[in-house]
C-alpha cells in the first residue's frame, strides 16, 4: 500500500519547468503578424511588477507548445545626440613659398572629419607676430578667402599667445593657408649699454633672424556623439494613498503602496502657495521583530510664486529601488501643511525582449518565488540591438492563473490590426492534475506496474505453501 501511495504522489506532481520555474501567472502576448523573425519588446505592467520576483528571474517567454524562448530584460533607452568639442589634424597636400616672400600650405580634411570652426597654427617658436590668410580651394582650384587674422606670441613681455583663427569653411574640404613674412626679424627684449672711459655713452641693438617653423595645422570643431540614456519615467498613481497630519511631530505623512514597481522618485502634485520644506522618504524595516520606519532618501520641496513668475521643485529622486509600503514625511515645523492634491510615483520602465518566429504565438509567465535566474543565449537579441534594430512592441493580455480553470476571453481590437490569439492548452486546462490526460495516463501505467508486481508476489507465496509431491517422498511413506 505504501508503494502504491508513493507512486500516486509521483504521478500527480507536475514536472519542473526551466530548472524549477513553476509560474503561477500567464499572459498571452499580442502583436501584429510578422513575415520574418523579428525582435519583440513587451513592457511589464502593474500586475507583473506585483507578482513577479523583484529581480525578474522568474519571467519566461514560452510558445503555446511550452517551449521556452531566450529573453533579455532591460530598461528602455532613448538615443540622444550631443555635440562634443574635438581637435583634429588635416592632411598636408603641398607646401612652399608664395608671392611677396610669404609661405603657404595646402591642407585637406580627412574623410569623416567634422566641419571645422577654427584653424590653429602649431609652432614651437616664441615672440612672433604673423598675418595669416585662409582660403577655400574648390574642385577646379578656384580659391575663396574664408578668414584672415594675426597669430602672435609675446612670451618675453607677457604670458600671451594667440595661434587660432575663427573659420567658416562652408562646403570646402580643402584649404590654402598663407603666412606672410615667414622670416622673422626679432629684436632682443633688452638693449645693451656700453660705457667706455673717455668716450660718450652709446647703446647697441642686438638683432637676430630666424625662419618661422610650422609643425602642423590643426582644426577645431564639434563631433556629434549619440548616447543611450534611460527613457523618461512613467508617472503613476500610488495605491492606497493616505494623507495624515501629525500635530505632535509637526509633520504631514503621505503613506502609499508602490505595487512593487521599480521607483526612481516621487513627485508632489497640485501644490499651491509659497513654501520650502524638508522631506524624507521612508520604508518599513523589521528590527528585532518589530516594524520601524527607515529613511532611504531625503531632500527639499520648494515653491515660489510672485507676480506671475513661478519656480518650484517638488520632486524627490533616488537610485532605483523596489519596496512595498512607503511614506513621504514633510516637516512643517510651525508652518501650516502644504496644500497639495497628492503624489505621483516616478516608475522606471522595464521591458522584455525576445525573437518572434512567423506564425508562432507566445505567452509571458511569472510568479514562481523559487525560480532561479536563467542563463539564456541572447546573441541574436544582442546582434539585433547592435545593428540598430528597433523592437516591435507587443502588449500583454489578461492575467490568467495557471491554477484556475477558466478560458481565455475573446478580445476584440479596435485598431483593426489582426493579432495572434491562440488558446493555450496548459493555461486553459482544469487545475485538477487527474483531469490532465498525460497525468491520468501516468497513473494508469503506475497502477498497472504495481498490479503486476503484486500478482507476481502472490504467485510466489502460493508456490511456497503447496505440499511437496515428489516421488522420493511418497516412497518413504
pLDDT in tens, 255-302: 999 989 999 999 999 998 899 999 999 998 888 888 899 999 999 999
Sequence-separated (6 or more) residues with CB below 8 Å from residue 178 = 98, 102, 103, 104, 132, 133, 134, 135
Is the confidence at residue 190, as pLDDT, over 50?
Answer: no
Is the confidence at residue 414, as pLDDT, over 80?
Answer: no
List alpha helices for 177-326, DSSP H: none
Is the confidence at residue 340, as pLDDT, over 80?
Answer: yes
Cβ(298)–Cβ(280) under 8 Å? Answer: yes
Is the confidence at residue 417, as pLDDT, over 60?
Answer: no
Lowest mean pLDDT among 67-76, 211-220, 239-248, 449-458: 449-458
Burial class (CB in 10 A: 0-12, 13-18, 19+), 247: exposed
43-95 pLDDT, tens digit each: 999 999 999 988 889 999 999 888 999 999 988 766 666 778 888 888 888 88
What is the predicted pLDDT for the residue at 289? Answer: 84
Full-model pTM: 0.52
Residue 50, helix vs strand vs coil: helix
Mean pLDDT of 31-48: 92
- % of the chain with per-residue pLDDT over 90: 34
- On the CB side of 55, CA atoms within 13 Å amount to 7
Sequence-separated (6 or more) residues with CB below 8 Å from residue 58 = 21, 23, 52, 365, 366, 367, 368, 369, 371
Sequence-separated (6 or more) residues with CB below 8 Å from residue 475 = none
DSSP β-bridge partners for residue 25: 366, 401
Burial 183-221 (b: 16+ CB within 10 A, else e): ebebeeeeeeeeeeeeeeeeeeeeeeeeebebeebbbbb
Question: What's the rounded Cα separation, in Å, for the pair 162 and 149?
Answer: 10
What is the predicted pLDDT for the residue at 91? Answer: 87
Single out the residue of 460, 420, 476, 436 nearest to residue 27, CA to CA.
Answer: 420
Same fold, 84-226 and 234-347: yes
What is the predicted pLDDT for the residue at 416? Answer: 33
What is the predicted pLDDT for the residue at 71? Answer: 94
Is the confidence at residue 173, as pLDDT, over 70?
Answer: yes
Look at strands 392-401 and 38-43 and give their pairing: parallel
What is the predicted pLDDT for the residue at 146? Answer: 92
H or E element in which residue 33 lies: none
Residue 113, helix vs strand vs coil: coil
Place of cell 521556452: 68
Question: What's the rounded Cα separation, in Å, for the pair 101 and 103?
Answer: 7
Question: What's the rounded Cα separation, in Å, for the pair 157 and 175?
Answer: 33
What is the predicted pLDDT for the residue at 89? Answer: 87
- Which sign does the torsion angle of CA 90, 94, 99, 101 carry? positive
Higher-confidence residue: 334 or 414? 334
Q: Where are the domains of the chain?
A: 2-76+358-417, 84-226, 234-347
- Class in CATH terms, 234-347: mainly beta
* pLDDT confidence bin for 464, thresholds 50/70/90: low
Residue 434, helix vs strand vs coil: helix
Is the confidence at residue 457, as pLDDT, over 80?
Answer: no
What is the predicted pLDDT for the residue at 388? Answer: 82
Question: What's the rounded Cα separation, in Å, for the pair 449 and 403?
Answer: 30
- Which sign does the torsion angle of CA 215, 221, 223, 229 carry? positive
Sequence-separated (6 or more) residues with CB below 8 Å from residue 278 = 298, 299, 300, 330, 331
Which CATH number is 84-226 given? 2.60.120
Query: Which of 8-17, 40-49, 209-218 is the most confident on average?
Result: 40-49
* pLDDT confidence bin for 468, thresholds 50/70/90: low
Query: Which of 78-92, 208-222, 341-355, 455-469 is the most confident on average?
Result: 341-355
Higher-confidence residue: 172 or 223? 172
Is the confidence at residue 200, as pLDDT, over 70?
Answer: no
* pLDDT confidence bin for 254, thresholds 50/70/90: very high
Amino acid at each position: 500500500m505504501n508503494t502504491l501511495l508513493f507512486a500516486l504522489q509521483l504521478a500527480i506532481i507536475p514536472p519542473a519547468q526551466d530548472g524549477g520555474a513553476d509560474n503561477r501567472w500567464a499572459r498571452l502576448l499580442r502583436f501584429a503578424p510578422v513575415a520574418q523573425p523579428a525582435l519583440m519588446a513587451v513592457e511589464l505592467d502593474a500586475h507583473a511588477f506585483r507578482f513577479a520576483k523583484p529581480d525578474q528571474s522568474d519571467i519566461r517567454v514560452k510558445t503555446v507548445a511550452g517551449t521556452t524562448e531566450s529573453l533579455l530584460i532591460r530598461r528602455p533607452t532613448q538615443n540622444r545626440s550631443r555635440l562634443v568639442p574635438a581637435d583634429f589634424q588635416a592632411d598636408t597636400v603641398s607646401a612652399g613659398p608664395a608671392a611677396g616672400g610669404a609661405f603657404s600650405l595646402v591642407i585637406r580634411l580627412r574623410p569623416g572629419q567634422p566641419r571645422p570652426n577654427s584653424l590653429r597654427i602649431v609652432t614651437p617658436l616664441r615672440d612672433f607676430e604673423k598675418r595669416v590668410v585662409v582660403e577655400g580651394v574648390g574642385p577646379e582650384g578656384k580659391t575663396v578667402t574664408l578668414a584672415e587674422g594675426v597669430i602672435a606670441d609675446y612670451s618675453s613681455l607677457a604670458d600671451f599667445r594667440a595661434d587660432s583663427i575663427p573659420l567658416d569653411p562652408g562646403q570646402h574640404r580643402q584649404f590654402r593657408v598663407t603666412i606672410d613674412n615667414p622670416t622673422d626679424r626679432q629684436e632682443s627684449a633688452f638693449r645693451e649699454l656700453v660705457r667706455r672711459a673717455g668716450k660718450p655713452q652709446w647703446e647697441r641693438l642686438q638683432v637676430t633672424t630666424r625662419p618661422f617653423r610650422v609643425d602642423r595645422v590643426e582644426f577645431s570643431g564639434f563631433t556629434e556623439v549619440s548616447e543611450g540614456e534611460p527613457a523618461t519615467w512613467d508617472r503613476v498613481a500610488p495605491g492606497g494613498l493616505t494623507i495624515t497630519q501629525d500635530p505632535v511631530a509637526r509633520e504631514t505623512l503621505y503613506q502609499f503602496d508602490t505595487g512593487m514597481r521599480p521607483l526612481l522618485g516621487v513627485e508632489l502634485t497640485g501644490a499651491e502657495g509659497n513654501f520650502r520644506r524638508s522631506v524624507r522618504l521612508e520604508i518599513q524595516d523589521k528590527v528585532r521583530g518589530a516594524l520601524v520606519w527607515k529613511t532611504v532618501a531625503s531632500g527639499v520641496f520648494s515653491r515660489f510664486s510672485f507676480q506671475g513668475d513661478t519656480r518650484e521643485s517638488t520632486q524627490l529622486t533616488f537610485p532605483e529601488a523596489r519596496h512595498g509600503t512607503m511614506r513621504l514625511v514633510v516637516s512643517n515645523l510651525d508652518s501650516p501643511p502644504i496644500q497639495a492634491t497628492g503624489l505621483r510615483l516616478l516608475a522606471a520602465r522595464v521591458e522584455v525582449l525576445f525573437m518572434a518566429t512567423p506564425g508562432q504565438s507566445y505567452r509571458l509567465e511569472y510568479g514562481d518565488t523559487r525560480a532561479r535566474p536563467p542563463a539564456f543565449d541572447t546573441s541574436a537579441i544582442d546582434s539585433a540591438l547592435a545593428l540598430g534594430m528597433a523592437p516591435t512592441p507587443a502588449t500583454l493580455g489578461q492575467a490568467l492563473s495557471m491554477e484556475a480553470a477558466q478560458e481565455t476571453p475573446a478580445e476584440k481590437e479596435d485598431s483593426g490590426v489582426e493579432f495572434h490569439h491562440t488558446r493555450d492548452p496548459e493555461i486553459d486546462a482544469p487545475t485538477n492534475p487527474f483531469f490532465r490526460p498525460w497525468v491520468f495516463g501516468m497513473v494508469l501505467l503506475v497502477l498497472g506496474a504495481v498490479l503486476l508486481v503484486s500478482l507476481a508476489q502472490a504467485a510466489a507465496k502460493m508456490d511456497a505453501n503447496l505440499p511437496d509431491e515428489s516421488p522420493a517422498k511418497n516412497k518413504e511413506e
